[in-house]
A and B are shown apart, each in its own frame.
Chain A
Amino acid sequence: MAGFAPVRHIVGVAAPLLRANVDTDAIIPSREIKGVAKTGLAEGLFADWRYLAAGSRMPDPSFILNDPRFAHAPILLAGANFGCGSSREHAVWALGEYGVRAIVAPSFAPIFRGNCVSNGIIPVVLDAATILAIADAGAPAAIDLPTQTLVSGTITVSFDIDPETKVILTEGLDAIDRTLRQGDAIAAFHAADRIARPWVYLESIS
């Protein structure tokens, strides 16, 4: 079972949301999380900024994604420490459902970054000056994961991404399936560890 469709090339509008420390409460406020599901979240995306009043659905024209040029942009240009705060994966599910396929930021909060990879969203790390230049030029961007390059107008940059993340994203691999193939190693670890650290292992209740 694949976790998500493989992601290799992303082409499209890049919406600039150039604020540092955008937290997951801002990406999706807790009150917008209404069901035990990974879907139905796009409407609540950035609700505090996107709508004029809490609970309303009147678009705030000053918010970037309400600018018709940037609506449903597949690429988000962001500030440092993007996705900090709560671990809620809803932030990534909401972004994905809205149509975001890649986020370009100087840095990501670690749990958020992991959640992106789990859901097929590319976390691209570039320095702040380059991100600003891309935003200022305002051209659409093309991200090619296999070659680790981003092209936008006259700007061409390469970016680093660890090989494991690259494989997972480009193949659309399900991490659980991959790990379950290590079943023997896991069983062997537990057998030895039960002897070394018996206090770690607890009785089951059922």
Chain B
Amino acid sequence: MTNPRTLLTKLWDAHVVASLSAGEDLIAIDRIFLHERTGSIALRSLAASGRHVLDPGRVFAVTDHIVDTLPGRTGSRVPGGDVFLDATREETRKAGIRLFDVQDPDQGIVHVISPELAIVLPGVTLVCPDSHSCSQGALGALAWGIGSTEAEHAMATGTLRMSKPKAMRVTFDGRLAPGVTAKDMALALIATHGAGGGKGHAIEFAGEAVRALDIEGRLTLCNMATEFSAVTGFVAPDEAVFAYLDGRRFAPRGAAWEAALATWRTLATEPGARFDREIAIDASSIEPMVSWGTSPQSSVPISAVVPPARIGDAESHARALDYMALDAGQPLRGIPIDAAFIGSCTNSRLSDLRRAAAILDGRRVAPGVTAIVVPGSSAVRRAAEAEGLDRIFTAAGFEWRMSGCSLCFYAGGDGFAPGSRVISSTNRNFEGRQGPGIRTHIASPEMVAASAIAGAIADPRVIARVEAL
């Protein structure tokens, strides 16, 4: 009798090339994804060291981080940005790596296009020099973010040296209430257990509410694992994942597909397997969440007020309130906003845009509010346009853009007006993340849409209720 194994252990064991000293393993890396901001440096540095990419067919690259997202774009509007694009083009060409460049119909945010193209598959290891690589665990992969030097290592050797993370299971029991989303699940978890709560762990998301999420919802949930300080997050692959992948560009076909399915169907934690840590959350108790401070853990239900400092937290609490220009005790609902942003690898997929558009349909963004929506990929953009979502957004007063990371972070190009208060479907509300002095409130796309209409932070369920009358 062998001990029952967690999915983490199954994925890990299947990739151990060699055991190194001191609990470290040499782990086979099945997929490497690069983007122009960090990948270009890794490729340059690898080439400069005289080494080459071991298996270029399993390395992919995209331009997403600093590409212009205004229609008619050709490159980057970030000062010096074209240098990164050109270096990426040159080095991927020399190395024989597939690049999804600005004009490519498959271009988009790396963590959005990787599932769309079935580059990430159940059971694979995938790394990318980008912290939100954990998103891709939604497909049942072990996917995590690395540094540029580690990316060089992965490209040159097809492996990484790593200690196995500890196993954590986060179980969301029960069902989400209407109007509550995967984003709210992630924020509720981080708000309850702290931004450092997942440190050292790989997290398996489980439970009825997770199973009930579609693939795009699971991508949103896993996306935030890095904001929980986890090494990665994933969901055991199920029939929904297999149906999602079937026929996509890099998915196996024919007999290979059948063989893959047989393997993928074994990718589950065995009953009785032991986790280093377990967290259970009642999904039915989660409300739409919104952040008030400068860490994702500083999030509360929309019905709440800005909380007081906790013990030992007075200094950073005061600093966050000062940056955000808020007071303890102030209700979140009704805080006036200057801008609304829907986009990023967290919440820019077709289902996100549909839910936001359903709220915006027939309504107008409040006067004085800048509202921008950036589809996560060129494919999402096309699909949304085919459904007429773009017309709903533009009729409501949203700017409809080309795909990319765009205003999720500030690189020196595009930005919101200095000092703006922005409600944003992104994943980080750090000081300066969206630009110097920008005050970011992270929330679901539907809360961003509802707030854009109200001109202030608003509960998306109120609009849904009015609708039902």
Contacts and interface: CB of A to CB of B under 8 A. Distances in A.
Contacts of A115: 147-150
Interface in B72-131: 78-80, 83-84, 87, 96-98, 121, 123-124, 129-131
A204 B96 contact: yes
B147 A114 contact: yes
A176 B156 contact: yes
B147 A92 contact: yes
B28 A87 contact: no
Nearest to B78: A31
Interface string A176-206: 1011101001100110010001111111111
Interface string A108-128: 011100110011000000000
Interface string B22-65: 11101010100000011011001100010100011110000000
Interface in B223-278: 229, 231, 250, 252, 256-257, 259-260, 263
A85 B228 CA distance: 10
B24 A164 contact: yes
A30 interface: yes
A152 interface: no
Interface string A32-59: 0111111000000000100001100000
A88 B57 CA distance: 25
Contacts of A86: 130-131, 409
Nearest to A1: B49
B18 interface: yes
A90 B260 CA distance: 39
Nearest to B88: A36
Interface in B178-231: 195-196, 199-200, 229, 231
A84 interface: yes
Given A86-B131, A115-B149, A199-B260, A110 B231 contact: yes
B303 interface: no
A175 interface: yes
Contacts, number: 191
B412 interface: yes
B410 interface: yes
A21 B23 CA distance: 28
Contact of B124 (A20, A48, A200): A200
Contacts of B331: none
B17 interface: yes
Given A119-B149, A186-B158, A25 B409 contact: yes
Interface residues of B, number: 79
A1 B152 CA distance: 14
Contacts of A107: 196, 199
B421 interface: no
Nearest to B90: A36
A21 B195 CA distance: 8
A110 B231 CA distance: 7
Given A54-B436, A115-B147, A197-B263, A185 B156 contact: no
A39 to B, nearest CB: 11
A163 interface: yes
Interface in A68-124: 80-81, 84-89, 92, 107, 109-111, 114-115, 118-119
B411 interface: yes
B96 A205 contact: yes
Contacts of B26: 179, 182, 185-186
Contact of A89 (B40, B129, B158, B409): B129
Q: Which of A26, A35, A186, A193 has the most CB of B within 10 A?
A: A186
A12 interface: no
B56 A206 contact: yes
A25 B157 contact: no
Assign chain A's interface to a size class.
35 or more
A131 to B, nearest CB: 14
Q: Which of B17, B252, B410 has the most CB of A within 10 A?
A: B17
Given A19-B316, A29-B432, A107-B196, A87 B131 contact: yes
A77 B286 CA distance: 38
B437 interface: yes
A171 interface: no
A60 interface: no
B161 A164 contact: yes
Given A29-B432, A197-B263, A87 B147 contact: yes
Contacts of B21: 163-164, 167
A87 B129 contact: yes
B145 A176 contact: no
A206 B95 CA distance: 9
Interface in A8-30: 19-21, 23, 25-26, 29-30
B411 A31 contact: yes
Given A164-B22, A201-B58, A110 B200 contact: yes
Contacts of A200: 30, 58, 121, 124
Q: Which of B30, B78, B131, B159 has the most CB of A within 10 A?
A: B131
A176 B157 CA distance: 7
Contacts of B430: 23, 25-26, 85
A110 B56 CA distance: 27
Given A84-B229, A186-B159, A179 B30 contact: no
A162 interface: yes
Nearest to A204: B57
Contacts of B20: 164
A103 B366 CA distance: 47
A178 to B, nearest CB: 8
Interface in B403-442: 409-412, 428, 430-433, 436-437
Given A26-B432, A164-B161, A167-B21, 11 more contacts: A25-B431, A33-B411, A54-B437, A81-B229, A111-B131, A175-B149, A179-B153, A185-B17, A199-B257, A200-B124, A201-B57
10 contacts: A19-B316, A21-B316, A23-B428, A36-B40, A86-B130, A87-B129, A88-B37, A179-B156, A185-B17, A193-B28
